[in-house]
Structure formats: C-alpha cells, structure tokens
Chain A
Amino acid sequence: MLNMNDVLETIHMIEGENLDIRTITMGISLLDCVSDDADRFCDKIYDKITRRAEKLVAVGEEIEKMYGIPIVNKRVSVTPIAIAGGALDTDGFIKAAKTLDRAAETLGINFIGGFSALVHKGFTTGDRNLLSAIPQALSETGKVCSSVNVASTKAGINMDAVKQMGDIIKQTAYLTRDTDSIGCAKLVVFTNIPEDNPFMAGAFHGVGEPDTVINVGVSGPGVVASAIQRAGNCDFSTLADIIKKTAFKITRMGQLVAYEASKRLDTPFGIVDLSLAPTPAVGDSVAHILEGMGLEKCGAHGTTAALALLNDAVKKGGVMASSHVGGLSGAFIPVSEDQGMIDAVACGSLTLEKLEAMTAVCSVGLDMIAIPGDTPAEVICGIIADEISIGVANTKTTAVRVIPAYGKKPGDTVNFGGLLGYAPVMKLNDMSPAAFIARGGRIPAPIHSLKN
C-alpha cells in the first residue's frame, strides 16, 4: 500500500532537490557497417543509428511523463569509430564525425559518443587517422563526443598516445577559440575506460556489448546533500548509512526507468550507472555534499576523506537497487558543472593538485577544468600522465578533460553554457615536464596487474 510520506518524499526529491535521471543512452554497434569507402560507411552508420534510435527521444519523453521524473538527456553511444571505420583515412573520419552529428540532429538527442580510439597498447592505422581527425572533427560538429583510452592497468601507459593527446587538445582548443575552446569539453583522455558508460563525453559502445543496449545514468547530488543536512551532527557510520539509503532510492528510480525504456524500445537492458552527477543548478552540487559533511569549503584538508566516504557509500547503496550496475558509478567532480566546485576554485580553496588527489577516490578524474590558453602541450601531457597513473596503479577509471581556453589566463572565466556550465581558469605549476614526456614508449603495467 502506498504510504503518503513516501509519496511526498519522492515528490520533494524531484521538485525541491533536483532528482532526475541524467541520461538514457542507447548503445549501438556499428561493427556491421564496416566499409573501406568513406561515403558508404557514412551512409550505413547514419541509417543504422537513425533506425535503431528512432524512438529513443519519444520513449524517453513518455516515461518522463508516466513517472513524473525528468529525464534530462537522451543520447546515443556507438562502437569506437576507430574500430568500425578502421579502413578510413583522416578525411574519411572527419566525414564520419559529421555523419554522427547529422544523425544526432535527426534523432533530436544532445550528444553522441564514440568518436573514440582504444590505444592503451599501441596504434593501428585507423587509430592514428582518427586521432589526427579529432581537432577538426570536434570543431566542425556540435554533438559529437570523443574519447581516447591511452592506458590500462593490464597494458600500462602508452606515453606516445599521451604525448599526442597534448597536441590534439591544444589544436582543438585553437580551432574552437571563438567559443571558449568548447571543443575540448567534448574530448576525454581515459585509462581503464568502461565499455558501458552512459555519460558523456566518454560514452562509447564496447565491442563485447550486444548489437544495441540501453544504459541509464542516474543523478541526485541535491537529494544526498539534503539528507545529510537533515541528519545534522551524526557520526561517520550514521552518515555513510544515510548516503547508502539515499543512493538506494535514487538508483531504484534509475532501474525502473531503465527497465521501462528497455521494454518500450525492445532493446536489452545493459546497466544502471549510479553516479552523482552535478549540474550548475543551485542545489545540485557534489561539492556542497562534502561541505555539508563539515568542511568549510570544498578543497579544505579532509576533502579527499569526505569524497572517499561519499563515493563508497553511493556504490554500496546503489548496488543492491539495480540488477546490473556498471559504467563509472560513483561521484563526479567536474569543476564547471558544479556550482560548489566553481566557488571553491574562485575563492582559492580548491587547487588542481587537490583535485588530482580527489580523483584517486572519485569515479572519474580531472573533469571540465579550464586552464590557461598558453599552457604548453607538454604540461597538458604531464597532467594526463599523472592522472592516468593514478587510475593504472589503483585499477580504476581515471580521465582528463581539461580546456586550455584560448587567450585566457588564470582568473578569467570561460562559459560553455547549459549543462557544461562555466569555470574559472585555474593556475598551473609552470615547471616543464618536456624532457620526461619526450622519452616516448610505454610505461609498463604495474605488478598487481598480473592476477592470473
């Protein structure tokens, strides 16, 4: 029987605490579209994507109305284009990116992910061609997201790829200089990239996945923050318990939506990604959760411990609420997409070094961080190498999405608009890692990768 307090609690979570389903992402395999002719490849991928995801937006809106819960984004992820389009040259890959953009436009979705390459152990010709196409592809499309996996715990770090990504990020920033270098907001460098992540910009459809699949990303930092506030001055065991219970409820909502979407789209259900994904909206901040635990400002000493507790409790609470959990699952700490993070950076409490430490215990990495436009490529490579090492050594996903905003210096602000938000440009350590990065080759996999 329905309990009135439960009804009111749910409605309050949605109305007052920004509870929403962040994304329904349909994964679509493009492995059956392979062709060495770029035009033919593009025709095939356009047809398949627009056919398979034809009803995605309409079904998302129906479910939204039926359950009264906002579903903020409907998106598509595809097989890494470097694999499906492995026979293409650079121009062919640019054509493919524009085709993905056109398909996204036709479907009415806001992002399509999978302009990606997996190069953790080395490059194929297709990988090289795709990588060289990334800057132009991202500057000439609006909805295409790109990701490159440069390392894994099993393979170690492909430092040649890291080196190349520094240049690619700089070029992308330059080519999109008229829009605060927004191209870089659609490009992520990963280690241990998950193959079923529904969140952008890192979503792609792994080769071990079925032909099509529905993955759902939940959210709800505001709900967790309010629950902590209501609990007042309790000890850590109680605090963790409150977060677990809240995460359970949020994830159950995600599971319900995923199940319904899967049924209505006649597509297998993949996973629920139980992430706390912030937005720039007031009351939708992960930083404010940490501050609610008792930190004067996010970035204060103690922040990493608070985030570790949060991340762990979210997983423990969410895991029982869904039949299959996957993707990134944890707490995101993007700067530009989180009002509390923005404020903490602006007042000098949160630095890049602290953010790096926090990524050792959060679910992703250095995310949506604006850095000075004149940052040398090798410094960006150094940032990537550090961050990726944390993931490799800890057998977890980490990623870098930094925006060297063209013409901007520390203290300036860049504005991407919408869910991508705005960010103060952060100061970097300007000592050069150039000679280290120039060595090239691979950093070997850590000893604990040998688990067989």
Chain B
Amino acid sequence: MKAVITVTGKDVVGIIAKVSAACAEYQANIIDISQSVLKEYFAMVMVVEIDQIAVEFTKFVDAMATLGTENDLVIHTMHEDVFNAMHHI
C-alpha cells in the first residue's frame, strides 16, 4: 500500500531533508518525489510505501502533520486509495 504526502509552504533550506528523515524514522519507503519552487513557494508531492511502517498509519499521519506545523509547512498524508477511487475507473 502506498500513501501520498504533500508538503507546501515557504521555501527554506532542508525541507526535503526533514520530511525524508521523518519517513525513514517511521520506515516509510519513498518511491517517488515531485517537487518544485514557484517564486518562494515550495510544493512537493511524495509517494511512500506504508506496508512496513513502524506505527499505525493514523499515527504516521499525525506525526507528519506535526512535523509540518513545527516547520511552518502544511503536510498532508493520505492513503493512495482516495486518489485511485476518485480518478480511476
């Protein structure tokens, strides 16, 4: 199973490092990253595997959201099923 992590906020040094460090800490394996900076605005969509994560998925969602709040970023973590349901027949 996969989850999608989206990260948005003002661009500063080390955003990807912090998010990927958190993923590593929880054993979420990063399989795709798409990232861009428009003016000073940072946006990243990351796909991770969550089969092996160290905690319950809902706790991982909370942990990532907290990481966002602590760093002036907005981080959403959502199960891939929601996107598959909405956009694929």
Contacts and interface: CB of A to CB of B under 8 A. Distances in A.
Interface of A: 2-4, 6-11, 62, 65-69, 249, 252-253, 255-256
Contact of A7 (B57, B62, B83, B85): B83
Given A2-B83, A7-B4, A68-B82, 8 more contacts: A2-B32, A6-B86, A10-B86, A11-B6, A66-B61, A66-B79, A68-B61, A253-B85
Contacts of A62: 58
Interface in B50-89: 57-58, 61-62, 76-87
B45 A68 contact: no
Residue in B76, B80, B87 whose Cβ sees the most chain A Cβ within 10 Å: B87
Contacts of A7: 4, 6, 45, 83
Contacts of A65: 58, 61-62
The 5 closest A-B pairs by CB, nearest first: A68-B78, A6-B87, A256-B85, A67-B82, A65-B58
Contacts of B83: 2, 6-7, 10
Contacts of B80: 2
B82 A253 contact: yes
Q: Which of B2, B81, B85 has the most CB of A within 10 A?
A: B85
A2 B2 contact: yes
B24 to A, nearest CB: 21
B34 A68 contact: no
Contacts of B57: 66
A249 B6 contact: no
27 contacts: A2-B4, A2-B83, A3-B87, A4-B45, A6-B86, A7-B6, A8-B6, A10-B78, A10-B82, A10-B86, A65-B58, A65-B61, A65-B62, A66-B57, A66-B58, A66-B61, A67-B81, A67-B82, A68-B61, A68-B77, A68-B82, A69-B82, A249-B87, A252-B85, A252-B86, A253-B86, A255-B85
Nearest to A260: B81
A256 B82 CA distance: 7
A249 B86 contact: yes
A4 B35 CA distance: 10
Nearest to B59: A65
B47 interface: yes
Nearest to B6: A11
A252 B86 CA distance: 5
Contacts of B34: 4
Q: Which of A62, A67, A69 has the most C-beta atoms of chain B within 10 angstroms of its own C-beta?
A: A67
Contacts of A10: 78, 82-83, 86-87
Contacts of A249: 86-87
Contacts of A3: 87
Contacts of B85: 252-253, 255-256
Contacts of B61: 65-66, 68
Contacts of B79: 66-68
Nearest to A254: B85
Contacts of A66: 57-58, 61, 78-79
A252 B84 CA distance: 9
B76 A8 contact: no
A244 to B, nearest CB: 13
